[in-house]
Structure 1
Amino acid sequence: MGSRLEPGEFEHLRPSRFLSFTFPNPLPDPPNPYGDPLRIAVLDSPSPSSSHPQIAALLVPLGREDDWIFSTAPGHLQLLLSLDLPLSRLVLAGNTPSSSPATLTSYSSPLPESESDPDSDALQSSLLPLLLALCPKASFVDGIPQIPFLSFDDDVVRIVPVETLVGPVVGEMLVEDVAIDRSPSPPELRRRLRFKRMPNLVQTQVRLLPQSSSSSISTLEFGSLRPEVGSLVQPYLAPMVAGLSLIATAVEERVRLGLRPKALCVGVGGGALLMSLRTQFGFDVLGVEADDVVLGVARRHFGLIEDEFLRVCVGDGIEMINNSSDFDAIMVDLDAGDATNGVSAPPLEFVQMNVILAVKSAVHEQGVVVVNVIPSDGSFYGRMVATFREVFCELYELDVGNGENLVLMATASPVGTDTIESGGSIPVKLNEVVGKGLISCIKKIF
C-alpha cells in the first residue's frame, strides 16, 4: 500500500505533502501488540518552518487504525493542526488499516493495566532510526534532532458504527454510538455524527437514554437506547443557547404580545440545537442544511421531529440569510469543509463583509446573531471580530472551555447580560437548561 518513494523524498519539506508506506516492524515477535508490517504515514504542515523544522511521531492506538482520524490524510492533518507544537512534519505509525477503510469496525479501549504496555515503549525506541531518516536535512543543523512521541488520549472507551452514508455535499459520513469515560461514574452513552472530510470534528452528538424510565442505562446495550430530544451535550451548543440571555427581555416582550420568537439555524447537523429552541424555549425554528442526506440522518438517528413550529429545508445558508428578515436569533453552526486553510468553522466565505451585512439585515433590531467559531489561530478570529465590529452595535464572546470553540455573539442594538435577572419564562428556562454560571461567563468585547 502507499506511495512509491524516491531517493531523498523526505530531505525537504513540501507544504501539505502526504505519503504513506509500509515498513517492517522492528519488534515483530509477541507479545508486541503491533503487527508486521507497520503502516507509516508522513504529513508535512501546510506552513512548515524551513529554518528550524520540528518533527514528531504518534503511535496509532490499537484497534483504531481503521478510524478516519488515523487512516486518512484529512484526519492526519487535523491531528497536526490541533497540536500546540509548531510541527513541520508529523509521522503516524501503527497497524495497517483494513482493505476496506470505509467499513469502520467496533472498538473497545484496552484494559487500564495494558495502557502502559512496555512493548509500546520498546517499539517507539526501535523506530527512532526510521524517524531520523524521515527528518528533513534542516533538522540536523544543530545536531541530531530530538523526536518526541506524542500520545493520543480521548475519553472514548467504546465505538460501535451505526451507519455509513454518502451525501452529495458533505461526502462520506458516519453515525456511531460511543461510550464516554466518566470515571468514577459509569460511562455516558452518546450518538455522534462525523464527516470523513474532517473526521476529528464531531459534527453533532446527543445523549442516549433508556427507552423506558424504569431501565438502568448501565445494563443496556446501544441498540435499546433512544436519543435525548434537544440534547445539548455537544460542547458549544449550551454556550450558543446562552446567547439568548442577551435578548431575553426583547423575547419576553414578543411573547407578551402573543408572538412566537423566531430563530434561523444555519447548519442543522443532528438537529439538537433546533429541537432545544423549539421544545425548551418555544421558538418558531427554521433550519437550513446544505445536504439532504444529513437531514435524513437527523430524522432517523438524532431525534429531529418537524412540525408547524420546526421546519427544515435543503439549501445554501448564505442564500437563505440574503432572503430572510426579522429573526430574533440567527444561529450559525457551519464547518469549513476543508482543514487545509487552517480554519474549521465557520467557512471563510461566511465572514465576508457582504455576508455579515446580510446577516444584520436578516436579524430583528433587538435580535442576536450567534456563531460557533473554531479557529486554528488568533489571526482568523481577529479578522472575523474586526468585520463584525464594523457592522454590529455590540459584540460578546463566550469561551467554551474545551480548547477549540469560541462562541461569538453580535447584537444590532445595545443590550446587557443583566437581562437574565428579569422575570419571565425565557430567563427561567435559560437558568434551567444552560445554568446561570455559564451565562455569567459571557464577556463583552465591543
Structure 2
Amino acid sequence: MAVSSELEGLQDVEPSRFIAFSFPNPLLLLDHASDPYAHGGHEFLRVAVLDHSSPHPSPRTAAMLVPAGRHRDWIFSTRAGHLHLLLASRSQCSHLSRLILVGPELSAPSPSRVVVVAAAARPDPDPAHARLLPLLLALCPRDAFGGDAIPDVPLLSFHDDLLRLAPVKVVAGPVVGEMVVEDVAVDCAPRPAELRRRLRFKRMPFLVQTQVRLVRQLSPGDSLMLDALDEVGGGSLQPEVGGELVQPYLQAMAAGLAVIAPSMDESFRLGGKPRCLCAGIGGGALLMSIRMGLQCDVLGIEADGVVLDVARSHFGLVEDEFLQVRVGDAIQMIQDFAHQGDPDMNFSAIMVDLDSSDAICGVSAPPLEMTKESILLASRTILHRDGAFILNVIPPAADGSFYKGLIDVLRHVFSELYEINVSNGENFVLVATVSPVETILADSSGSVLTKLRKLAGDFLEHITRI
C-alpha cells in the first residue's frame, strides 16, 4: 500500500487536493452491533481526503462515514460529490478545510436496491469513531497540533430524505458525461412517503436535474408503497407528467409566469398560445407541465441528445405539435434567433435552467456566459413586448458577489425585476420583464393564474419586486 508520499504531503492543507487510498479496516474489531458495515466483512476501507480553502487561521478537519450501501453513489465516490459534502458540512463544523470520507472500497459489492437506515436505527457512531481516531489524527495537518494539543476530529453525519434508492439506468452523453436514472422513496413527513424518479449527472451528483412522481395504484400510506421499488423495470411504476411540479425551484420558475399572466390570458382570448422557450430540458418536467398544465406552445433546447433520450424513455417527455425540442447550445441558439429576426422566434417567456459545467466551485447556476449583457440583450430581443425572462440561480458558494452582479446587469437590460426565494438554501428565481408590470395577482380569477396555482403551489405568493 504505497501511500506514504501522499500521506506526507497531507501535513499541509492544499486547497483542491483530493486523494483516495485503501486502508486495513479497523472496524472489523468492533462487535456486530457497532460496525456500520457489519454485513460486508470488508478487509479494506476506502479513505478519501479533500482539502478546501478556509479564511480561518486554524482550519479544522472532520470525518464522515459513507452510509451503508451507498459507497458507489457519486455523492460519496467522486471528487465533485466530496466537495459538496465538505461545503455543506460547514454548518456542522465551522472553518472546515479538510473532510475525510471513510467507507467500503468502490470494488465492494453494492446492493441493487438500498434501504436507507433511519438515523435513530444506525449503530452508535462512537465505537467506530474511536477505532478510526488514530487514522484520522494521522491525516490531520500539522498546524492542527499547535501547542502540542490533540485536535478534535468530529465524525459528522449525513442525512437526506431518501428511504429507498434503486438505480434504473446509467448512461453517458457526449456533453454531460455519465448520468443515472434512479427510483427513490422519499420521506415527505408528515405526509405519506412518495415514490419518485430522478436524474443526476456524475459531474454534479448532489444536483437533482429532474424529479417526477411515480404513479402506482395504492391507497395512501399503504406499506407496499416502499416495496414497489422492488418492481423497478417491471412497468408498474410510471412517471406522472403534466401535473404539479415536484421540485420547489421548478415550482418557483413556473410561478414566475404569474408576472405576465394577463398577457398570456390575452393570447388565449385571441385564439393563440403563449410561446415559451425552455433553455435546458433535463427530464422535461417543466416543459410537460407548461405544455399540459398551461396549454402553452413550448420549444425546449438541450445540449446533450442522450439526456433527451432519457427524458423520453424514463420521464414521460412527449413531443407534439406544441412541444418541440432541439439539440444544441441554448445560449448560442438564443443569439442566433436574435440575429435572424425570425418572427416565429418571438416568445412570451424564456425560462433558463442551465447549471455551470464547472464543478470545481461546487454547484452553481447559470453558466457565467448566460449572465453576459450581450446574451441578456439577445434574450430580450426575442421576447414579446410583454414577455419575461425567468432564470434559475444557484449562487456559487465561493463568490459572494455573483448574485448582486447578476441583479445589476438584469436591471440594466430589462424594465423590472422580481425575485422568488425558493427557501431551500440554494435556489433563487429571478424574473425580468421587457415592459413595466402594473400589478401582480390583482385579478386572481384569470385562467393562467388558476392553472399556475395547481402547478406552482404557494410560490405565487412569494414573488417580490426588487
State TM-score, norm by structure 1: 0.92
Q: Does 1:296 align with 2:309?
A: yes
Provide the residue aligned with 1:386 in structure 2. Answer: 408
Pairwise mapping of residues 147-166 of structure 1 onto structure 2 (< 5 A)? 147-166=153-172
Provide the residue aligned with 1:114 in structure 2. Answer: 121
Provide the residue aligned with 2:433 in structure 1. Answer: 411
Provide the residue aligned with 1:41 in structure 2. Answer: 48
Q: Which amino acid aligns with 2:8?
A: G
- Asked if 2 retains the 8 angstrom alpha-carbon contact of 1:67 and 1:104, the reply is no
325-334 vs 103-112, greater mean Cα deviation: 103-112
Aligned-pair CA distance for 1:328: 0.6
Matches of 1:106 and 1:212 in 2, distance apart?
A: 21
Pairwise mapping of residues 237-316 of structure 1 onto structure 2 (< 5 A)? 237-316=250-329
Provide the residue aligned with 2:422 in structure 1. Answer: 400
- Give CA deviations for 1:378-422 in whole Å, capped at 9, x if unaligned: 322122112212211111111112111111111121115524525
Provide the residue aligned with 2:128 in structure 1. Answer: 123
Distance 1:6 1:77, change over 3 A: closer
Matches of 1:138 and 1:67 in 2, distance apart?
A: 32
Q: Which amino acid aligns with 1:439?
A: L
Provide the residue aligned with 2:390 in structure 1. Answer: 370
Provide the residue aligned with 1:52 in structure 2. Answer: 58
Distance 1:71 1:363, change over 3 A: same
Look up the SS of the partner of 1:131 in the other structure: helix
Pairwise mapping of residues 44-83 of structure 1 onto structure 2 (< 5 A)? 44-45=51-52, 47-49=53-55, 51-83=57-89
Matches of 1:2 and 1:367 in 2, distance apart?
A: 61
Aligned-pair CA distance for 1:441: 1.0
Which residue, 350, 355, 360 being the options, matches 1:330?
Answer: 350
- Asked if 2 retains the 8 angstrom alpha-carbon contact of 1:394 and 1:414, the reply is yes
Matches of 1:126 and 1:212 in 2, distance apart?
A: 45
What is the RMSD of the two structures over their aligned residues, measured on CA atoms?
2.4
Distance 1:352 1:59, change over 3 A: same
Which residue, 192, 202, 217 being the options, matches 2:198?
Answer: 192
Q: Percent of aligned positions with the same letter in both sequences?
A: 53
Matches of 2:359 and 2:378 in 1, distance apart?
A: 26
- Asked if 1 retains the 8 angstrom alpha-carbon contact of 2:207 and 2:363, the reply is no
Look up the SS of the partner of 1:346 in the other structure: coil
229-238 vs 283-292, greater mean Cα deviation: 229-238
Look up the SS of the partner of 1:236 in the other structure: helix
Q: Which amino acid aligns with 1:208?
A: L
Distance 1:25 1:212, change over 3 A: closer
Which residue, 375, 383, 389 being the options, matches 1:355?
Answer: 375
- Asked if 2 retains the 8 angstrom alpha-carbon contact of 1:2 and 1:19, the reply is no
State TM-score, norm by structure 2: 0.88
Distance 1:275 1:90, change over 3 A: same
Unaligned runs of at least 5 residues, structure 2 = 338-344
- Asked if 2 retains the 8 angstrom alpha-carbon contact of 1:249 and 1:422, the reply is no
Unaligned runs of at least 5 residues, structure 1 = none
Look up the SS of the partner of 1:129 in the other structure: helix
Look up the SS of the partner of 1:139 in the other structure: helix
Look up the SS of the partner of 1:28 in the other structure: helix
Aligned-pair CA distance for 1:113: 5.5
Q: Which amino acid aligns with 1:197?
A: R
Aligned-pair CA distance for 1:305: 0.4
Provide the residue aligned with 2:18 in structure 1. Answer: 18
Matches of 1:2 and 1:191 in 2, distance apart?
A: 42
